[in-house]
Amino acid sequence: MDHRLVGRYRLGMKARLLIAPLVAAALLAATVIATPAAEAAATKPCPASGLVIWAGEEPGGGTAGSVYYRLQFTNLSGHACTLTGYPKVNAVDLKGRRLGAAATHATGKKARPVKLAPGASATATLQIVDALNFSPGECKPTLAAGLRVSVPGGSGSKLAPLAFETCALARAQTLAVAPVTRTS
C-alpha cells in the first residue's frame, strides 16, 4: 500500500472535519437571513377571493348630512396577506351596475400597509352624504342596493349589500373613503 495515499487521505479527512462546522454555520446563517425574505413573500397583496368584505354602520356614525360606515376586510384565505391604501368604492343597483360617482379619498389619514394574518380584519371608514343635500337636477336621487368594493393594494372586488339613498348622476359626490387601518 502506498503510504503517501494514506497520508493524503488522512489529511483530506481532517480538512473535511474542520470545514464541516464552517459549512453548517454558513447554512444556518443563510437560513436566518432568508427568513425575512420568506416572510415578506408570505405577505403578498390580498386577493378578493380570500377576503370577506362587508359594510356596517359605525357606532355614533351620523353627522348632519352624512352617515359613516365601516368597511371590514376579513382574511379567510388561510395565508397572511397585505392590504395597502384606499379601496375603490362604488354604489351599485340590484344588477350590480354602478350608480353615480366613485368614492373620493377622505383626507386626514395616511395610508399604510396592513398585514392580515388568517382570520384577522382591517377596516376603512366610508362616508355617505345624504342625497337630499343635492338638488334633484344635479343628483337624481335613487336607491343603491350595495357597494362594489375593490381590495386596496390587492386584486379584485366584492359586493357588499347595503341599501341607501344615493345620487345616480356622477356630478354629485356622495361617497368618500379613508385608507384601510388595523382593526383594534
10-residue mean pLDDT profile of the chain (184 residues): values are: 54 48 44 42 84 85 85 96 97 97 91 95 96 94 97 94 96 96 84
The whole-angstrom separation of Cα 159 and Cα 149 is: 6
The whole-angstrom separation of Cα 99 and Cα 163 is: 13
**Phi, psi (rounded to 5 degrees) for 172:** -100, 115
- pLDDT for 52 equals 97
Alpha helix ranges (H) inside the chain: 3-42, 136-139
Instruction: Say which CATH class 48-182 falls into.
Output: mainly beta
| DSSP state for residue 104 in the 8-state scheme | E
- pLDDT for 91 equals 98
What value does the CA radius of gyration of the chain take, rounded to a whole number of Å? 28
Instruction: Give per-residue pLDDT as tens, 28-55.
Output: 444 444 444 344 444 899 999 999 999 9
| DSSP state for residue 106 in the 8-state scheme | P
- pLDDT for 6 equals 52
All three cell numbers of 86, joined, read 384606499
- pLDDT for 60 equals 62
The whole-angstrom separation of Cα 38 and Cα 47 is: 19
Please say whether the beta carbons of 175 and 160 come within 8 A: no
Domain ranges of the chain: 1-42, 48-182
Name residues whose C-beta falls within 8 Å of residue 29's C-beta, 6 or more positions apart in sequence.
none
